[in-house]
Amino acid sequence: MSLYAAVIVPLPVHGTFHYEVPEHLRPSLRVGHRVSVPFGPRRLTGFVVGFSEQPPEGVKGKIRRISDVLDDEALLTADLLALITFASDYYLSPMGEVLKVALPPGLTAASQVVLRATSKGRAVLESVSDPKLKDALVAASRATGVKRNTLDKKVVEQMLAEGWAGVRESFDAKSAAETVEVLERRIASGDDAEKHLRRAPAQRALFDRLSSGPATVEALGIELGRDSVRRAMKGLLAAELIERRREAKESWPTMACDPGHEAALALSDDQRHALDRILGAFEAGTPEAFLLRGVTGSGKTEVYLQAIAKARAAGKTAIVLVPEIALTSQLEARFRARFGDDVAVLHSAMTDKERRQSWHRLRHGRAGIALGPRSAIWAPVENVGILVVDEEHDASFKQHNDLRYNGRDLALFRAKKTGAVAVLGSATPALETRHLAEQGRLTELRLAQRIHGRPMPKVVLVDLARAMETEHELPMFTRPLEDALRETVSSGEQAILFLNRRGFNSVVICDECAEVRKCPACSVSLTHHKSTRSLVCHYCGHTERLEQACKKCSSLAMKPYGFGTERVAEALAALIPEARVIRLDRDITSKVGALEDVLGKFRRREADVLVGTQMVAKGHDFPGVTLVGILCADASLAFPDFRAAERTFQLMTQVAGRAGRAERPGRVIVQTFQPTHYALNAAIEHDDDLFFRVECESRRGAGYPPFGRLGLVRVESEDAGRASKTAAQLGELARAACKDEGLRARGPIPAPIERIRGRYRHMLMLTAPSPARLVQAMRFVRDRMGKVPNGVDVVFDVDAVDML
């Protein structure tokens, strides 16, 4: 009876591919195994996701066979395979694309062919290398009168039938017995095989090389010559002296285990209550999800650590997601202090080999805690007991290319599917998360106070409009902020200055005709970077020299305006010369190791002031920081996105939370043109309930999240006409998909940034009352859109968070 396997391959194609399973592979092949399969003229690495005894319906022609199994055990666990399948279905992405995201780079790469001697070959090797063989052959030659080099199996077998009489007569009893034993082994190994090797020196050379152990075809080709190895392989395989097998390219050595040494910290009453509720669900074995809503500095991380310790003691594994790689290194230090080498980190800043090694440590049980940004949700751990999503509100949990998944949402799915406990932690939960808690679908746990009863920082708003009336220009540092900075530096304390705009100047304008220098490939202005004397597009990377003439009037009178983090750092160093100022933004962290270097210097108090973008706002714990200055709180409020107010509130609250986390109280100075805005006032008062109520009312009527699910269909092309025409056609399909009550299609309209990297962008917005209905409507559009014109890309973004 035939057996067929459904296989997924790492290509952007929907569905699975079916292969016949050869008889010799059936005993060892399982779902989740990595296999080598022919795919057109190529050979690919795929994964088995199912079996059937009947050939798939509709398949024409001969079904091809699986070439080989690449691992002794299945690499994809049932849990991970279920997550991959769900993500493919929900995010409307081919399973092959999900596979590439879920697995570390290189795990789906082409395998290598390894040659090794067969049992028959090993017997021949043992025979031909026996030092007694020459003497035995001499004796046999004397006994038979046949020349030694023409002795064949038939002659030796005849001698055996005659009881080795001639051999026994030529030696004493002991030597005769040894000679007979050697010749009998030679018969068992096959005299024909030895003759075959004597007639084929290339095969003998390859065979002798394999006597020292298996080797890859690639390595043998370098050593013995590719053509020689290729020809010799055929003869040795036909003689059944060697065998070949496709195997993974790397081995994964075990590591010495450091068990960790740091003891658990004493908990506050709020922390103890939260931990008891989490452990109660864990011990009951119920897949409950919690929202751990704690103010900044309230000790959420300690709750995570102690809950995970209980899970590990019970033999369960854990997954911890953090929003940024910058936070991964900080949390890694805390987790390793507590758990040692039981922690395996997964993130994109690691080398490909490091990621594969971490992945294999988790897969084979040599580490039980996976830590990293959103991609750590794909950790191949089994028997999951707890999943933690720290700073769950952060938009970086949503991937914005290829598979557009949300790590937080997949964590909730994986926890429910595996019966694990999920903990979403934040001082400023996403509105969707708060809404789930209001509905009772998440259990809310509050940490209302900072640890040790430390006060929340005092926040002061400074009206930039009034400051401009006094100083007659937009001040970078208003008088209250300047005075506070001087006081902080002189007292030996530290400060953080936040501005979510990198570069030196935000815009360059021609003094003659007022033309703004824009990117030729994107609908955005260029940013001036003084250190390189260049203008840079932060979307596509296009660079121009500052000295270039105006493209409209050819004037050289180009003047930069505005300020970014580069200019702020320079201005502050000039304003307060004794201040040691360092910067943290993407321009700085583009160099390998720069991120850890900057954070380490500031943590060791080798700098007084840290100037940075939103990278400084997320979860960092700097005990020396007593002052936070927000230079322009209005920047994010102006974004053309219905989430602008929410993100501003979260960002202000989070960056303000870096102040006063140790013994000294903290203060925050916020410079703004909109001092009465509800998002800023809620942040000042540390009142997330107020913000939640006001913001929900502004979204309810439009059906925006959390009162509905939002999907975007984006159309991009270098040809503006093709992009517009395709978007219009998809708009008709979207309206047809949204005829039922509760569904709504908006657009198509040009994207807020209409052109990026030379591609024109249009978008459609679909809203639905539930996830299932949103996916159904978007699948309706995808399945009916037909062949997309050449040069046009269509992207389906389920549960979109980025409107730009």
- pLDDT 10s digits, 610-633: 999 888 877 678 889 999 999 988
pLDDT for position 556? 84
Question: How much of the chain exceeds pLDDT 70, in percent?
Answer: 87
Q: Omega of the bond prior to 752 within 30 degrees of 0, cis?
A: no
pLDDT for position 542? 92
Tell whether the model's pLDDT for residue 320 goes beyond 60.
yes
Tell whether the model's pLDDT for residue 257 goes beyond 80.
no
pLDDT band at 774 (very low <50, low <70, confident <90, very high): very high
Non-local CB neighbours of 480 within 8 Å, separated by 6+ positions: 460, 462, 669
Say how far apart CA 732 and CA 72 lie, in whole Å. Answer: 51
Task: Give the range among 83-97, 298-312, 553-567 with minimum mean pLDDT.
Answer: 553-567
Task: Give the range among 25-34, 134-143, 162-171, 653-662 with minimum mean pLDDT.
Answer: 162-171
10 Å CB burial of residue 614 (0-12, 13-18, 19+) is: buried
pLDDT band at 256 (very low <50, low <70, confident <90, very high): very low
Positive/negative CA dihedral, 516, 517, 520, 526: negative
pLDDT for position 110? 52
pLDDT band at 197 (very low <50, low <70, confident <90, very high): low
Q: How far is CA 775 from CA 230, 325, 495, 793, 796, in A?
A: 52, 31, 46, 19, 10
pLDDT for position 173? 46
Instruction: Name the residue with tokens 């005769």.
Output: 176
Tell whether the model's pLDDT for residue 267 goes beyond 70.
yes
pLDDT band at 801 (very low <50, low <70, confident <90, very high): very high
Say how far apart CA 55 and CA 47 lie, in whole Å. Answer: 18
Question: How much of the chain exceeds pLDDT 90, in percent?
Answer: 49
pLDDT band at 125 (very low <50, low <70, confident <90, very high): low
- Residues 300, 367: contact at Cβ < 8 Å? no
Task: Give the range among 250-259, 296-305, 330-339 with minimum mean pLDDT.
Answer: 250-259
Tell whether the model's pLDDT for residue 732 goes beyond 60.
yes
Say how far apart CA 712 and CA 800 lie, in whole Å. Answer: 6
pLDDT for position 150? 53
- The amino acid that residue 596 corresponds to is E
pLDDT band at 131 (very low <50, low <70, confident <90, very high): low
Collapsing DSSP to helix, strand or coil, 421 comes out as: strand
Tell whether the model's pLDDT for residue 226 goes beyond 70.
yes
pLDDT for position 190? 47
pLDDT for position 56? 80
pLDDT for position 165? 53
Task: Give the range among 210-219, 400-409, 467-476, 792-801 with minimum mean pLDDT.
Answer: 210-219
**pTM strictly above 0.75:** yes
Tell whether the model's pLDDT for residue 768 goes beyond 50.
yes
Q: Omega of the bond prior to 480 within 30 degrees of 0, cis?
A: no
Mean pLDDT of 228-233: 82
Task: Give the range among 136-145, 668-677, 736-745 with minimum mean pLDDT.
Answer: 136-145
- Residues 80, 47: contact at Cβ < 8 Å? no
CA-wise closest residue to 366 among 263, 261, 253: 253
Say how far apart CA 685 and CA 675 lie, in whole Å. Answer: 13
Tell whether the model's pLDDT for residue 48 goes beyond 90.
yes
Say how far apart CA 503 and CA 527 lie, in whole Å. Answer: 6
pLDDT for position 119? 75
Mean pLDDT of 272-300: 94
Task: Give the range among 119-128, 293-302, 534-543 with minimum mean pLDDT.
Answer: 119-128
Give the angle 101-103-106 at the CA atoms, nearest 5°: 105
List, edge to edge, every strand of the sheet that includes 343-345. Answer: 343-345, 369-372, 317-321, 384-390, 421-426, 289-294, 443-447
pLDDT for position 255? 47
Task: Give the range among 23-32, 90-99, 258-267, 271-280 with minimum mean pLDDT.
Answer: 258-267
Mean pLDDT of 329-346: 89
CA-wise closest residue to 704 among 641, 649, 647: 641
pLDDT for position 253? 47
The alpha-carbon radius of gyration of the chain (Å, integer) is 34
Residue 113 CA, distance from chain mean position? 29
Task: Give the range among 59-68, 494-503, 559-568 with minimum mean pLDDT.
Answer: 59-68
Count the alpha carbons within 13 Å of 622 in the hemisphere toward its beta carbon: 33
Say how far apart CA 220 and CA 115 lie, in whole Å. Answer: 9
Mean pLDDT (the chain, rounded): 85
